[in-house]
Copies of this chain bind each other. A is one copy, B any other.
């Protein structure tokens, strides 16, 4: 009994070079030459083959091509969390810039979790990407240094000093200094830092640097450093920022300014202060970092230190592209500096 050939709605086998070649009555290689605009094909033949390509909707199979060429055009982007506006905006510009360079990003979220970051550093269990753009939070630098995976990697963020890898970094000491100097200039003297963090009893570099900048500004202004004003948070979120501010004001009702480690924390802080009946900026000034879009629209609008995300994206991809193109020199470091954007939350 002949099997009834019911045409399936299911994915038929996609068209391959061979199909086009057979249809056009030429060899596979000739079709390949047409697809890749290689010479040695008569114009009329070229046209003919192109017609068949269009008719059969042939599109090269990336896998075959990449197997042959040894590269995929894929780059892994590993960052803590796409939902935070900072990383979301960074990822967004990275996707665009990568596209311009003919690369496609593939996204991994680590949640800043040590194990997940370790996996990323070790290398994905299956080799698929040509490169890695990585924004680690918890991973000890020494561990990353011993990475055996040989695909080029670019580190983004304050993390990675001494790792030997290309980096796009932020001068967060300077950033903290500028932020706190601004608050001091506005006459504030009891300035809290909200967003201290520890991983295994060590401050991640981003935290250490922002606190160092904070202390540097205080020192210059001869305002004594008060450890009680440096407030820890479990996570840099609005929620924890709000909780942290509530605790801060219970312990130290005398604070007149808050330097929040990022804008999300700052939003949480403002929210909590409002709940406590305190006015921003009259009673307490608040300043954040990242200058996320929302900072221009919050009430009050938020003073923040802006970091140029598209510049960072450009830099990261330049570093990576050079490695992919074979650059084999010593690691390179590009640094972004913050720009203070003054708004209502620190007025007066």
Most buried by B among A61, A63, A88, A104: A63
- Taking CB atoms, residues of chain B closer than 8 Å to A152 are 11
- Contact: A62 with B126, CB < 8 Å? yes
- Contact: A64 with B61, CB < 8 Å? no
- Taking CB atoms, residues of chain B closer than 8 Å to A124 are 59
Asked if A4 is an interface residue, CB under 8 A from chain B, the answer is: no
| Residues 282 to 330 of chain A near chain B (Cβ within 8 Å) | 293-294, 296-299, 301, 326, 328
- Taking CB atoms, residues of chain B closer than 8 Å to A95 are 82, 107-109
> How many copies are assembled?
2
A128 vs B298: C-alpha distance when bound (angstroms): 42
- Taking CB atoms, residues of chain B closer than 8 Å to A123 are 57, 59
CB distance from A23 to the nearest CB of B (A): 16
Asked if A174 is an interface residue, CB under 8 A from chain B, the answer is: no
- Taking CB atoms, residues of chain B closer than 8 Å to A3 are none
- Taking CB atoms, residues of chain B closer than 8 Å to A64 are 67
- Contact: A62 with B127, CB < 8 Å? yes
- Contact: A274 with B299, CB < 8 Å? yes
| Residues 264 to 294 of chain A near chain B (Cβ within 8 Å) | 267-268, 270-271, 274, 293-294
Interchain CB contact (< 8 A) of A91 among B61, B107, B268? B107
CB distance from A257 to the nearest CB of B (A): 19
Asked if A1 is an interface residue, CB under 8 A from chain B, the answer is: no
Please count how many residues in chain A sit with their CB below 8 Å of the partner chain's CB atoms.
Answer: 62
- Contact: A92 with B85, CB < 8 Å? no
CB distance from A290 to the nearest CB of B (A): 13
Asked if A242 is an interface residue, CB under 8 A from chain B, the answer is: yes
| Residues 139 to 170 of chain A near chain B (Cβ within 8 Å) | 148-152
- Contact: A126 with B65, CB < 8 Å? yes
A16 vs B198: C-alpha distance when bound (angstroms): 40
- Contact: A298 with B298, CB < 8 Å? yes
Known contacts: A150-B12, A238-B293, A298-B299. The answer to whether A61 contacts B127 by CB under 8 A is: yes
* 28 cross-chain CB contacts under 8 A: A10-B326, A10-B328, A11-B151, A14-B127, A14-B150, A57-B123, A57-B148, A57-B149, A60-B126, A63-B66, A63-B127, A63-B128, A81-B92, A82-B82, A82-B91, A82-B92, A83-B89, A88-B88, A95-B109, A104-B108, A106-B106, A107-B107, A238-B296, A242-B297, A267-B298, A270-B297, A271-B301, A294-B294
